[in-house]
Each structure stands twice: as C-alpha cells, then as structure tokens.
Amino acid sequence: MAQGALPGFRDFYPTEFAQRAYIARIWRDVARRYAFVEYDGPPLEPLELYTRKSGDEIVAQLYNFTDKGGREVALRPEMTPTLARMVAARANALRKPVRWFSLPQLFRYERQQKGRLREHFQLNVDIIGESGVTADAELLAVAIDIMREFGLSPDDVRARVSDRRLLRALLERLGVGDEQLPAVFGIIDKIERQPREVSVEKLSALGVSSESADSLFSLMDGLTLDALRARFGDTPAIAERIADLERYYTYLADLGVAEWVQLDLSIVRGLAYYTGIVFELFDARGEFRAICGGGRYDNLLKSLGGVDLPALGFGMGDVVLGELLRARGLSDVPIGEPDFWVAAAEDGDLRDVMLAATQLRRAGASVEYALRPQTLSKQRKAAFSAGATYFITVGADFAERGSVQVDEVQHVEGAGASLVDRLEEMPKTLASIIALVRDV
Ligand code: HAM
C-alpha cells in the first residue's frame, strides 16, 4: 500500500507548490525592496546551538539525534541561532547594519493542529548592528508591507506590539521580582489561550498577590501609551520606555504602516532571547494563530558568538499565512500552465511541431505538444486540460512559409491575453508570433 507523508509533513502537489512558490516570491520581492540580502545556513546544526538559548519550549520540540560520528545534532527548529552564529563568526568583515533575509524550512516536533505542522517554511528578516528604534520600525514595516502585497488590509491583519523592557518595569512596579520574571512572562504569553482562573492560580503559585494579578490583567486590556503614562509615568524607567515607543510609532507612521499597529502588552513572545520591542501579526478576526513574530534580541550574539552586537528580526511562517490567504480568497495562483500548445494539423508533421515549439521556447514562451501523433480534436482537448492559453496548428505549409493558425484556448487574464487581439491584424506566421512573444 502507498504510504502517506509523516504526520505534520506535507506533500506539495503542483497546486500546493504553486501557492508555496507564490508566497516565497512575495517574501523575496518585499525583502529586496527594503534592501535586505538573502543568505542560508545548514538545515542540521549542533544540538547545543539550541539548548543554550532558544528556551525550553523549542528545545522540547527538537528533532535531534546522534549522528554516525557520535555528534549530537538537531534539525533547525528556527533560524535565529544559525544567523547569530554566522554573523558573529564574521562580525568584523560584515557591513553594518547587517540586513539579511532567509527562507529556511524548519522542523519542530509539535502536536499537529490548525496552523501548526512539524515542518514549515519561515521567512526570516533580521537587522544586526543597530540599537535605535528606527531599526525596530523598519523591521515591522517589512512584515506589514508583505501583508499589503498579498492584498490584505489593516481590517484583515493587526500588528500587536509590546516592549519587554517596558513590561519588566511595569511588573517591577507591581512588585514582581527579577527571579519571578521569566515565569510571569511565560504566563502572560499564554494569557489569551487559557482561562483567567488558570493564569491567576499560576501567578499566585509564584507568589504574585491577587491585587498585583488584577493590576497585571488591567495592563493587558488594550491600554494606550497615554493611559500608561498617566498611571505609571512617574517611574523614570517606565517614562523612558514610553518615550521610546512614541518615537517608534512616529517612524511607523512615516513608513506608512501605523494604522496596522496596536499596543498589546500581552505579547511577550515564547522564545527566551528577546530583550526589547516584540511583536506578532494576527488576523483581525482572531481565527488563526500568529502569522509572524519577532523582536529585539540584543544579547544573543554575545552569548552565542562572543560578539556584542544589537539585533532584531522576525519569522513569518507559510502555514498560517497560507490558511489566511485561502480563507480570504487570495491564494488562487496558476500552477504554471503553458502559453502555447502546438498541434499538428491532419496534414501536419510532428517534427514541424517540434521545430515550431523549439523556436517559441527560445523566444521565452512555455510550450507543450502531444508526444505522440494524435487527431486534431484530441490535441485540442489535451491543450484545454493542460490549461494552455493559445493553440497553434502547424500544417503542410509550415515548412515552406512558416504559416500557422492561432486560436485562443482559454482566456487568461494578464500580459499574454492580448496576443490574439493583436494577431488579428498580423500575418499568421510563427515569426510574427515570436516577435510578439519577445515584445511581451
Ligand atoms: P516563532 O514565533 O517561533 O519565532 O515563529 C515565527 C512564526 O513561524 C510563527 O508566528 C508561525 O507563523 C510560524 N511557525 C512557528 N512554528 C510553526 C509550526 N510548527 N508550524 C507552522 N508554522 C510555524 C521564531 O522562530 C523566531 N526565531 C523568529 C525571529 C527571527 N526572531 C528574530 N528573528
């Protein structure tokens, strides 16, 4: 019996592959528009790269094993440690700030569910070597512009932004001690996905008073920066973070993305290494999991590579994004149907078909023909089911005069669709078609 793919792994038949390629194309286009350059690293890394810094959740999900040389290795569950390692290794030689992007396939042994698989492709965009909020704004603008490029609007997608330093200062004011912070961050990270009583219980188990827990919940309630300043602005550490976030907002407005963005202190990010502004993109109706997540991780290069460079970045997966695009009817992409089907007329010769196809292909068109002699009506049916746009018939007069007959098989929106209109006034020869193909 034929076996399916492993749970959480995908087969990409041409329709699915076309969607994956479409997502990758938009990712690359927008990243390049912001002048990021592409890199890649190995899919298999030393296990240690993740156990040191990524945080317990990701480490529990590792695909790891001992290789035949006795090395402890893991399939990459995320790209950030590889990036940090690569940049740290050449820190002096690289032009700063480093503006790099990558499209790795990542592997996490997660429970398979909506929006979560055991492999996914993830756009990573990172800036290394700039500590100012200008870089935070530039980074978020890339993620949001990608949404726009897919045809989504601020009504479809929200960018929820927070700042771990601000949250830490606020929690300190509520009496949460440094040693409780990582665990409290963990509870806040899950606050939306679990009942309030559960969060309160966990907080109280950590020694957080019920009064502080109530204040903490009130912080998660869509506060504005003004409201925060009115309540807590007399604490210098908090006032400083608020001023920084205000600058951030100003730059986001300059970059044309402010209307997508909202402050949301429940965003802390699951990964351990974030240090500053963090964000996640969600569909506005709250039907799907996070589309994208990222933020500042100023200490990771130092702890992984001994180089003290500030850094920030995000990861955007193809799974949730694909689900959202499908739900909004925005993922109907062609699988790469041929421009032309070349057919032999009843008096035609298959070898003339090949000659004609070759010339069209050299001109840049995609061309298919029947690989065995067939009746004209069969060839027409085949052209239709292949999704070809034009049907070229080659008859006995092709060899001498290059003349052919062209019909539209199906109307396809786009550049080539006007070809038939233009051909109406043209002599119907292969040369004239090729001239038009070169023109498009
Ligand atoms: P992350 O939040 O773990 O961050 O993943 C980023 C995005 O990847 C998620 O929002 C989600 O869309 C997608 N994703 C993650 N896990 C899965 C999964 N099992 N199945 C499908 N999609 C998934 C990071 O990985 C950080 N390293 C991102 C980053 C880059 N931070 C700084 N630079």
> Are 321 and 358 contained in the same domain?
no
Residue 424 has pLDDT above 70, yes or no: no
CA 317 to centroid of ligand 1, rounded, Å: 6
- 252: number of Cβ within 10 Å: 23
CATH of the domain at 167: 3.30.930.10
> Are 104 and 189 contained in the same domain?
yes
Residue 416 has pLDDT above 90, yes or no: no
80 pocket-lining for ligand 1 (C-beta < 6 Å): yes
> Are 96 and 137 contained in the same domain?
yes
CA 293 to centroid of ligand 1, rounded, Å: 6
What is the model's pLDDT at position 209?
86
Q: pLDDT per residue over 378-400, tens digit each?
A: 999 999 999 999 999 999 999 89
Residue 334 has pLDDT above 70, yes or no: yes
Residue 356 pLDDT class (50, 70, 90 cuts):
very high
> Are 319 and 387 contained in the same domain?
no
Residue 427 has pLDDT above 60, yes or no: no
Residue 333 falls inside a structural domain: no
Q: Which ligand 1 atom is the nearest neighbour of the CA of 269?
A: 2
Q: Which ligand 1 atom is the nearest neighbour of the CA of 117?
A: 20
What is the model's pLDDT at position 52?
79
What is the model's pLDDT at position 409?
84
Q: Which ligand 1 atom is the nearest neighbour of the CA of 61?
A: 19
Domain boundary residue among 327, 348, 380? 327
Tokens matching residue 368 = 């298919």
> Are 159 and 253 contained in the same domain?
yes
> Which has more pLDDT, 298 or 334?
298
> Are 305 and 372 contained in the same domain?
no
Residue of 120, 287, 298 best suited for mutating to test ligand 1, as the one with most atoms within 8 Å of CB: 120
> Are 135 and 96 contained in the same domain?
yes
320 pocket-lining for ligand 1 (C-beta < 6 Å): yes
Q: Which ligand 1 atom is the nearest neighbour of the CA of 110?
A: 19
Tokens matching residue 200 = 């309160």
313 pocket-lining for ligand 1 (C-beta < 6 Å): yes
294 pocket-lining for ligand 1 (C-beta < 6 Å): yes
Residue 3 falls inside a structural domain: no
Across 126-149, average pLDDT: 98
- Distance (Å, rounded) from C-alpha 212 to C-alpha 98? 41
Residue 440 has pLDDT above 80, yes or no: no
The total domain count for the chain is 2
Spatial CB neighbours of 380, under 8 Å, sequence gap ≥ 6 = 343, 391, 409
> Are 267 and 412 contained in the same domain?
no
Quote the pTM value: 0.93
Task: Please tell me what DSSP assigns to residue 411.
Answer: -
Percent of the chain with pLDDT over 90: 73
Q: Which ligand 1 atom is the nearest neighbour of the CA of 118?
A: 19
The CA-atom distances, in angstroms, between 306 and each of 84, 271, 309 are: 10, 20, 9
> Are 111 and 42 contained in the same domain?
yes
Q: Which residues form the domain of 395?
A: 340-439
Q: Give me the phi and psi of 60, to 5 degrees please.
A: -65, -20
Indicate the pairing of strand 292-296 with strand 277-283.
antiparallel
> Are 269 and 299 contained in the same domain?
yes
Which range among 177-186, 384-393, 401-410, 415-424 shows the weakest confidence by mean pLDDT?
415-424
Across 265-293, average pLDDT: 93
108 pocket-lining for ligand 1 (C-beta < 6 Å): yes
Residue 99 pLDDT class (50, 70, 90 cuts):
very high
Residue 61 has pLDDT above 90, yes or no: yes
Residue 9 falls inside a structural domain: no
Residue 2 falls inside a structural domain: no
319 pocket-lining for ligand 1 (C-beta < 6 Å): yes
Residue 179 falls inside a structural domain: yes
**Beta bridge partner(s), residue 116:** 113
What is the model's pLDDT at position 118?
97
Spatial CB neighbours of 400, under 8 Å, sequence gap ≥ 6 = none
Residue 269 pLDDT class (50, 70, 90 cuts):
confident
Whether residue 99 contacts residue 30, with contact meaning beta carbons closer than 8 Å, is answered with no
Residues 313-342 as b/e (b if ≥16 CB within 10 A, e otherwise) read bbbbbbbbbbbbbeeeeebeeeeeebbbbb
> Are 283 and 152 contained in the same domain?
yes
What is the model's pLDDT at position 192?
83
Whether residue 127 contacts residue 239, with contact meaning beta carbons closer than 8 Å, is answered with no
126 pocket-lining for ligand 1 (C-beta < 6 Å): yes
Domain boundary residue among 283, 300, 327? 327
The CA-atom distances, in angstroms, between 159 and each of 58, 247, 371, 422, 430 are: 23, 17, 52, 46, 53
CATH of the domain at 396: 3.40.50.800
Q: E strands within 247-349?
A: 261-263, 277-283, 292-296, 311-317, 340-344
Identity of the residue numbered 92: N
* Atom 14 of ligand 1: nearest residue by CA position: 317
What is the model's pLDDT at position 166?
95
**Beta bridge partner(s), residue 406:** 392
Spatial CB neighbours of 44, under 8 Å, sequence gap ≥ 6 = 73, 74, 75, 76
124 pocket-lining for ligand 1 (C-beta < 6 Å): yes
292 pocket-lining for ligand 1 (C-beta < 6 Å): yes
Residue of 87, 122, 124, 297 best suited for mutating to test ligand 1, as the one with most atoms within 8 Å of CB: 122
Residue 417 has pLDDT above 60, yes or no: no
Domain boundary residue among 327, 353, 387? 327
Residue 1 falls inside a structural domain: no
314 pocket-lining for ligand 1 (C-beta < 6 Å): yes
What is the model's pLDDT at position 208?
87
Residue 182 falls inside a structural domain: yes
Residue 7 falls inside a structural domain: no
CA 271 to centroid of ligand 1, rounded, Å: 10
Residue 31 has pLDDT above 60, yes or no: yes
Residue 415 has pLDDT above 60, yes or no: no
> Are 321 and 399 contained in the same domain?
no
- Distance (Å, rounded) from C-alpha 294 to C-alpha 123? 11
* Atom 30 of ligand 1: nearest residue by CA position: 314
